[in-house]
């Protein structure tokens, strides 16, 4: 008899992982990493990202990687969401200044609309939701590489100020993401079977790496004092606008990918890669673009980053319990008279 996946207790108001995320935020607020501890936390986060990509490389077959690279329609869809739809929504929000958004916060809000998509957490959520991980890896990587050029150029055009292109960002992508992934692919012949038999390991690494990202991001905000630079009512208004922005982008990526004819697994990758923004890429770019005002400029991005992690964690867990996903991986039998198309 096929084994069904365990479900959460009906009395539990929140996903346990969301409770852990909230606990991580509280820990960062009460005990932010400082000095050597901050350096260690950032190193642990970097190491976790590299480990995730090594494990993905070891798990994914060469055929799956080729299929991911060949999804040019998916990649163009994610790029359009990241560098066209997001900026247009950011420009539309100018009408909220100064009644809802403070002028100094609007520049940061528009900047968050210009940064590339986050890579690691998008792929982690795609994996949890049983989407097309190979395509998500490629789409996220393409977005980050394009963002090295497009984000400063768009910021110069839409926000103003000096722009700068940094080779360090490209080098970080290569060293932290592509090199571990390539190493996993090379070693797959020897360790691929072990990784496949221990799928839970990937789940633990996915969740742990996101927790490291949340903790280090909030610790940075606490130690930099950016949370005290904004009036509480302005902060609440900013949160409301960002919640609306995230909801609109989740709706656009979900509805749009379905209308464009993408399969279930591809739609999941598009939703998570096309609706999210990278704090890791945005912070160094903001330092170059905004100089001394960088701390306040990245406040909208930091808030949006935490919001997207929590919301997408709920969505990913719910999508993972989709009956079609269970059929796809063989945990449940297909309904009578129905079949599950390959790659859907």
pLDDT tens per residue across span 24-43: 878 887 888 887 877 787 77
User: Residue 328 falls within a domain, yes or no?
Assistant: no
The predicted structure's pLDDT at residue 330: 44
User: What is the distance between the alpha carbons of residues 35 and 255, in angstroms, rounded to a whole number?
Assistant: 45
HSE-up (13 A, CA, CB side) for residue 147: 36
User: Residue 326 falls within a domain, yes or no?
Assistant: no
- Asked if 290 and 115 touch (Cβ cutoff 8 Å), the reply is no
Residue with the larger pLDDT of the pair 251 and 309:
251
Among candidate residues 209, 77, 65, the one with its CA nearest the CA of residue 143:
77
Question: Ramachandran region of residue 9, left (φ > 0), alpha (ψ -120 to 50) or beta?
Answer: beta
Single pTM value for the model: 0.68
Q: Is the pLDDT of residue 51 over 90?
A: no
- Asked if 87 and 114 touch (Cβ cutoff 8 Å), the reply is yes
Percent of the chain whose pLDDT exceeds 90: 20
User: What is the distance between the alpha carbons of residues 89 and 101, in angstroms, rounded to a whole number?
Assistant: 14
User: Residue 67 falls within a domain, yes or no?
Assistant: yes
Which ranges of 129-231 does DSSP label H, i.e. alpha helix? 133-158, 167-173, 179-197, 199-224
User: Residue 148 falls within a domain, yes or no?
Assistant: yes
* Maximum distance among all Cα pairs of the chain, rounded to whole angstroms: 64
Residue with the larger pLDDT of the pair 239 and 53:
239
The predicted structure's pLDDT at residue 162: 39
CATH of the domain at 192: 1.20.1530.20
Domain that holds residue 50: 34-321
User: Residue 171 falls within a domain, yes or no?
Assistant: yes
First-to-final CA distance of the chain:
24
Please tell me which of 81-95, 125-139, 190-204, 219-233 the model is most confident about, judged by mean pLDDT: 81-95
User: Residue 302 falls within a domain, yes or no?
Assistant: yes
The predicted structure's pLDDT at residue 227: 63
The three-state (H, E, C) secondary structure of the chain, written as one string: CCCCCCCCCCCCCCCHHHHHHHHHHHHHHHCCCCHHHHHHHHHHHHHHHHHHHHHHHHHCCHHHHHHHHCCHHHHHHHHHHHHHHHHHHHHHHHHHCCCCCCHHHHHHHHHHCCCCCCCHHHHHHHHHCCCCHHHHHHHHHHHHHHHHHHHHHHHHHHCCCCCCCCHHHHHHHHHHHHHHHHHHHHHHHHHHHHHHHCHHHHHHHHHHHHHHHHHHHHHHHHHHCHHHCCCHHHHHHHHHHHHHHHHHHHHHHHHHHHHCCCCHHHHHHHHHHHCCCCHHHHHHHHHHHHHHHHHHHCHHHHHHHHHHHHHHHHHHHHHHCCHHHHHHCCCCCCCCCCCCCCCC
User: What is the distance between the alpha carbons of residues 140 and 68, in angstroms, rounded to a whole number?
Assistant: 11
Residue with the larger pLDDT of the pair 292 and 25:
25
Query: Domain total for the chain?
Result: 1
**Per-residue confidence at 109, pLDDT binned at 50, 70, 90?**
very high
User: What is the distance between the alpha carbons of residues 159 and 164, in angstroms, rounded to a whole number?
Assistant: 14
**Per-residue confidence at 340, pLDDT binned at 50, 70, 90?**
very low
Q: Is the preceding peptide bond at 98 cis, omega within 30 degrees of 0? A: yes
User: What is the distance between the alpha carbons of residues 289 and 179, in angstroms, rounded to a whole number?
Assistant: 28
User: Residue 256 falls within a domain, yes or no?
Assistant: yes
**Per-residue confidence at 62, pLDDT binned at 50, 70, 90?**
low
What digits encode the pLDDT tens for the residues 248-268?
A: 999 999 999 999 999 999 999
User: Residue 172 falls within a domain, yes or no?
Assistant: yes
């Amino acid at each position: 008899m096929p084994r069904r996946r365990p479900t959460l207790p009906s009395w539990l108001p929140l996903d346990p992982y969301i409770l852990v995320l909230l606990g991580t935020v509280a820990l960062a607020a009460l005990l932010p990493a400082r000095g050597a501890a901050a350096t260690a936390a950032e190193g642990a986060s970097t190491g976790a990202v590299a480990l995730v990509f090594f494990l993905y490389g070891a798990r994914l077959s060469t055929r799956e990687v080729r299929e991911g690279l060949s999804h040019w329609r998916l990649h163009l869809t994610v790029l359009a969401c990241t560098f066209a739809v997001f900026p247009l929504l950011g420009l539309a929000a100018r009408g909220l200044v100064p009644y809802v958004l403070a002028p100094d916060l609007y520049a940061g809000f528009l900047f968050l609309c210009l940064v590339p998509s986050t890579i690691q957490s998008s792929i982690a959520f795609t994996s949890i939701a049983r989407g097309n991980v190979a395509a998500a890896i490629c789409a996220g990587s393409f977005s980050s590489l394009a963002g090295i050029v497009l984000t400063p150029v768009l910021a110069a055009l839409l926000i103003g100020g000096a722009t700068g292109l940094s080779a360090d960002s490209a080098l970080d992508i290569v060293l932290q993401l592509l090199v571990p992934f390539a190493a996993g692919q090379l070693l797959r012949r020897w360790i691929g079977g072990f990784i496949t038999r221990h799928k839970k390991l990937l789940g633990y690494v996915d969740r742990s790496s996101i927790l490291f990202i949340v903790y280090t991001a909030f610790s940075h905000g606490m130690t930099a004092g950016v949370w005290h630079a904004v009036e509480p009512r302005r902060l609440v208004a900013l949160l409301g606008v960002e919640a609306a922005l995230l909801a609109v982008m989740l709706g656009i990526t979900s509805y749009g990918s379905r209308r464009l004819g993408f399969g279930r697994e591809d739609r999941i990758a598009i939703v998570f890669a096309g609706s999210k923004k990278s704090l890791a890429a945005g912070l160094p770019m903001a330092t170059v673009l905004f100089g001394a005002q960088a701390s306040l400029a990245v406040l909208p991005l930091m808030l949006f980053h935490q919001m997207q992690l929590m919301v997408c964690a709920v969505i990913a867990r719910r999508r993972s319990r989709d009956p079609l996903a269970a059929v796809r991986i063989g945990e449940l039998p297909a309904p009578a008279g129905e079949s599950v198309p390959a790659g859907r």
